[in-house]
Amino acid sequence: MTVEPVEPVESVDGPAAGVDTDDRDGVLVATISGELDPDTVDAVGAALFDLFDEKPHALVVDLAVAFMSSAGLSMLLKLHSRAQTDEIGFAVVAKNNAAQDPLFISGLSEVLPLADTVDEAVESLRKS
């Protein structure tokens, strides 16, 4: 499976968000960097939704973000829903406070499948 690189999303101040992908034997890992906010979420979301066209066994979203707004939370819910519809494994990794705080404060940590590390998520999804 070939995954094309995703161009960084530009903002007034320069690159604000980026998505790097890595195929780990059918489990796609998409690492989001920068700021996931109303200015970047559409482009980042489109890039992530395009990954479903690759028909991966699973998708791991690694939130290596400096900031995540409610727009990012909404995008994660939509991704989770699409993964369930397409019967594709799905997990979110949120290791830093910029990602963890919105997930826990909103209660989405109880809804979305979270993993402590990318390796843990990949291993868990390979078994499913």
Whole-angstrom distance, CA of residue 117 vs CA of residue 9: 25
Whole-angstrom distance, CA of residue 104 vs CA of residue 91: 15
Q: Are strands 58-68 and 27-36 parallel, antiparallel or unpaired?
A: parallel
Helix (H) or strand (E) holding 24: strand 14-24
Instruction: Give the pTM.
Output: 0.88
pLDDT at 128: 81
How far separated are the first and last CA of the chain, in Å rounded?
A: 20
- Please write the tens of the pLDDT for every residue from 86-113: 999 999 999 999 999 999 999 999 999 9
- According to DSSP, residue 1 is labeled -
